[in-house]
Amino acid sequence: MTSPLALLAAAPASAGSDHVWAYVGFIALVIGFLVLDLTVLHRDAHEVKMKEALGWSVFWLTLGVAFSGVVYYAYEHHWLALGLETAKYNTREAVAAGGALIVTGEVTGAEAAKQYLVGYVVEKSLAMDNIFVIALVFAYFAVPAKYQHRVLFWGILGALIMRGGMIALGAGLILKYQWILIVFGGFLLLTAVKMAVIKGNDDPSQNFAVKLAKRLFRSVDFFDGQHFFTKRTKRPTYTRYPDGREVMDPAPEGTLSAKWAVTPLFLTLVLVEITDLVFAVDSIPAIFAITPDPFIVFTSNIFAILGLRALYFCLASLIARFRFLKPALILILAFVGVKLLLLSVPPYLPVIGMEASSPIKIDTVTSMVVVLGTLAVATVLSIVLPKREGTPGH
């Protein structure tokens, strides 16, 4: 868990060791959930049905929203020094008077909770597009439904580590070089334009990571249960018992190789990790448009990711029907990109020969209304104006 530890170093030094323990406590909570998931709730490989997925989606959604209450009380009462010496965007008046765009100071519980909720909703909505790609990867590798949860579990674990490191890096950069916000904003706008006009490559076999994995490791073209690596050289056979259980037969004598080979399940995991990395590059700058506080950025991002597995099983078969979801995501990306540019560009206008201006700050409540309203309109339009038969999918 080196990346989350790196995140601890991004916390303002003046907040003291108590602030560090807030990160330690949250990471411990997340690890506890993951251990419970892997060792108790999903110990045996099985197909996740809609009812189970819906239940877990509600659980994670409730947990993610409820954590805003913890954020409120923690910042309001400064538990573990949260809300003290915290990174925040300066007021328009202060910046106009020559102050820095990002300062450290006290953040109230109400403001912190609003920032967390907006960040959570933005990250959750951007995760929707990730589901499209994961469904495509599973379909390409023909991953049996009962093994998909295992891939998603380890994929999420890798995503937590990668995002922790990226958030730590991003927080450190914007605190030291505030012009980085302009880069973030421009990148989000370019991403929105790319999503709108450029169709990506839908063939996972052409992914560089898959080609590299096959070149570096021996590979087989069959699944060995839910294992990522195997010594089998022949496709396994199964025995079905009267009670419906299907058990893999032992490998025939003399067919096991001395060397390990990667299975299609491992290649699937590689692509899922690469997919999340690509989407993290988009989503993490988006959350920094809401707040520069690394604790809010980290917790909202992680809670949005934790529910991604259950959300996948709920929506993978239904999401193609929501034809206006992708345009909504493009609008949300464009909105947060514009918000970040309005906040960061005005103080740097003298660089291009223009007079400096006060940053234009779109408040947190307005951001929440825009994001939720866009998603609601997209959902309603998708129901009222469903995709016609024969229309190409996503």
Tens-binned pLDDT, residue by residue, of the chain (394 aa): 334 434 333 444 444 467 789 999 999 998 888 887 767 666 666 777 778 888 888 998 999 999 999 999 999 999 999 999 999 998 888 887 888 889 999 999 999 999 999 999 988 888 776 776 787 788 788 888 888 888 988 888 888 888 888 888 888 888 788 888 888 888 888 878 887 876 555 555 666 767 778 788 889 988 998 899 999 999 999 898 888 788 899 999 889 998 999 999 999 998 888 888 877 877 788 889 899 999 999 999 999 888 887 888 877 656 666 778 778 878 988 898 898 899 889 888 888 888 878 888 888 888 888 988 998 898 899 888 887 655 554 4
Strand pairing class (102-105; 86-89)? antiparallel
Distances (CA, A) of 351 to 59, 96, 127, 339, 355: 49, 16, 36, 20, 9
Rounded Cα distance, 102 and 354, in Å = 22
Confidence (pLDDT) at 44? 67
CB 372 within 8 A of CB 121: yes
Q: What are phi and psi of 196, to 5 degrees?
A: -80, -35
CB 305 within 8 A of CB 287: no
Rounded Cα distance, 56 and 136, in Å = 22
Angle, helices 50-76 vs 308-315, to 10°: value is: 140
Q: Considering just the CA atoms, what is the radius of gyration of the chain in Å?
A: 23
Distances (CA, A) of 220 to 138, 150, 213, 227, 248: 17, 19, 12, 12, 17
CB 125 within 8 A of CB 377: no
Rounded Cα distance, 242 and 221, in Å = 29
146: three-class secondary structure by DSSP:
helix
191, 275, 263: which is closest to 220 by C-alpha?
A: 263
Helix (H) or strand (E) holding 238: strand 238-240
Confidence (pLDDT) at 393? 47
Residue type, 272: V
Rounded Cα distance, 203 and 188, in Å = 25
| DSSP classification of residue 100 | -
Domain ranges of the chain: 2-228+263-384
Rounded Cα distance, 281 and 170, in Å = 10
- Name, in order, each residue with C-beta under 8 angstroms of 377's C-beta and a sequence gap of 6 or more: 324, 328
47, 2, 230: which is closest to 149 by C-alpha?
A: 47
Confidence (pLDDT) at 283? 79
**Model confidence, pTM:** 0.80
CB 291 within 8 A of CB 103: no
